[in-house]
Amino acid sequence: MSVSSANLHSQLAALIKRPPVTVAPESTLRDAVQAMSEHRVGSIIIVEPESGRPIGIFTLRDLLHKVAAKASCDLDQMIMSVMSGSNLLMLNWRSTVYQAALVMARHGVHHVIVVDAAGKLKGIVSQEDIYELQSGGAKAISGAIRTAKDIDSLVSAAQDIHRLAERTLAEGGAAEALTQLISSLNDHLTVRLIEITKLDFDLPKVPWTWLAFGSEGRYEQTLSTDQDNGIVFAAPVEQAEAIRQAFLPFAREVNKRLDACGFPLCKGNVMASNPELCLSVDEWHGRFSRWLRSTTPQALLDSTIYFDFRPIFGEESLAEALRAWLCKHIPDATLFLRFMAQDALRAQAPLGMIRDFSFDDNKTYPHTIDLKTQGTRLFVDVARILALANGIDETSTPERLRAAAERGKFGRDDIGAVIDGFFFIQQLRLRVQQAGTPMGLANRVDPEALNELDRFVLKEALKQAKKLQRRIQMDYHL
């Protein structure tokens, strides 16, 4: 994949433009600066000669603050004495560009080092590399979020995100790129909001992570979305309750401030301020275990929300361990997966036998199709089951489907058509929401109000949903 065709869900390998400039640990500062000048780069990696593993980084910013600012400037000192080596941020080259952007935002750095599975240096990715994938408006908003000092600044940035999304949609922006854009900027805003809010609280000194659930967890936020979040923290069983009580006032303030930024409080109370969603690692394991052993409608509903989780802020390793635990235990929950499949098949594509479309019994908005519950949900539910059953750790619907195709569950051409169908319906949802329709109509459309081409493509997209449902119908002999 070329750099020009990369997007936020591409692997970091796609952004590596050239081999990294490196020096050995015993090299002098003079050698390092000269190499940076010759290659016209703003950073250089210090690498162990034998293993090829990075042990430090030296940047132009280090040159300014660690060297030039001092009274004596010794260019013959070893680069090891001035490099940044502690807390070196490294990501596997199969990590996504999106993950790199979040890591930089969380840690306030401008570069991440990219390594292979053996930890050997493969390249370096900068904020500027990621900015090149975004429009100029996104770059400006990202900068404003990064330098925001108060909540009022973030409220303003949230309004800018909404305006940018609407403008991008009006200019014909594709649904995949647009939802990535919305999710990326919303994540940056949430990270900065949490950083600012943390300053007002004396939080417990334990590892913890702010989690996103639902559409936010799947990177599939639209123009109309509420909050779905929680907290996982590391603590012994006997300390969990006290630590939870210490986190809850902070969580309530974050939820309140997100609401001020345009993310409404969840009517179902799926928020970190809910004590049932501010849990220790062991408590989350317990909740997941109970769901996997249950076949009740509530357990199935909960799993559709909470199994689509990902970390937003904090110790990512907690969320990664939680995902690994789920991937390990869910293949044995065959009855639960079967009931999930049955539940997914209850929602049918609104295609008529005689007419092109069929309609539900909604008396308030008759002759309309709900593009969420009768459209994108059909794809989302099947993709989730495929991911859980096959140990796929992706959370976004298209990435889950692509991963399933790589494991032989679909032909590549087949899955391409399915994903295109999903994104067409997603694009239609965005257009409906952009039109400023009432909340009850935010996902509904009258097919007769569409032009002939859109009606045809919508019908074909829903056929792809039916094809996807037949996949799990065969898998579970339903």
pLDDT at 4: 46
User: Do 177 and 324 fall within a single domain?
Assistant: yes
CATH number of the domain where residue 271 is located: 3.30.460.10
- H helices within 334-411, ranges in order? 334-346, 377-389, 397-406
User: Do 413 and 466 fall within a single domain?
Assistant: yes
| 279 token code pair | 């849990």
pLDDT at 1: 46
Phi first, then psi: give them for residue 59, nearest 5 degrees: -120, 170
User: Do 314 and 356 fall within a single domain?
Assistant: no
**Regarding predicted confidence, which is higher, 343 or 173?**
343
Q: Which domain holds residue 143?
A: 136-332
Dump pLDDT digits (tens) for 68-107: 656 566 788 888 888 877 667 889 888 888 778 777 777 7
Helix (H) or strand (E) holding 124, with range, is: strand 121-126
- Using CB atoms within 10 A of its CB, is residue 360 exposed (0-12), middle (13-18) or buried (19+)? middle
User: Do 73 and 93 fall within a single domain?
Assistant: yes
CA 113 to chain centre: 20
Torsion angle in degrees (nearest 10) through CA of 412, 123, 220, 196: 170
Torsion angle in degrees (nearest 10) through CA of 359, 364, 365, 370: -70
User: Do 402 and 306 fall within a single domain?
Assistant: no
Dump pLDDT digits (tens) for 303-333: 889 999 999 999 988 999 999 999 999 988 9
User: Do 175 and 306 fall within a single domain?
Assistant: yes
Q: From residue 89, how far is each of 16, 85, 189, 253, 324 by CA, in Å?
A: 16, 9, 21, 30, 22
- Give the dihedral sign, CA 398/399/400/404: positive
Residue 79 identity (one-letter amino acid): I
Q: Which of 114, 131, 148 is the last residue of a domain?
A: 131
pLDDT at 74: 76
- Percentage of the chain beyond pLDDT 90 is 49
In the sheet where 121-126 sits, what is the strand order? 90-92, 111-115, 121-126
User: Do 151 and 101 fall within a single domain?
Assistant: no
Alpha-carbon Rg for the chain, nearest whole angstrom, is 24
User: Do 111 and 147 fall within a single domain?
Assistant: no
User: Do 286 and 167 fall within a single domain?
Assistant: yes
Residue 51 identity (one-letter amino acid): S
User: Do 309 and 440 fall within a single domain?
Assistant: no
Phi first, then psi: give them for residue 165, nearest 5 degrees: -60, -45
Dump pLDDT digits (tens) for 264-283: 999 999 999 999 999 999 99
- Residues forming beta bridges with residue 56, ordered by sequence position: 46
**For residue 12, which of 3, 23, 21 has the smallest C-alpha distance?**
3
Q: What residues contact 474, with CB distance under 8 A and at least 6 apart?
A: none
Residue 211 pLDDT more than 90? yes
| Domain total in the chain | 3
**Regarding predicted confidence, which is higher, 133 or 62?**
62
User: Do 102 and 151 fall within a single domain?
Assistant: no
Q: Which of 83, 106, 131 is the last residue of a domain?
A: 131
User: Do 25 and 101 fall within a single domain?
Assistant: yes
Residue 437 pLDDT more than 80? no
Angle, alpha carbons 237-243-277 (nearest 5°): 85
Q: Which of 100, 131, 162 is the last residue of a domain?
A: 131
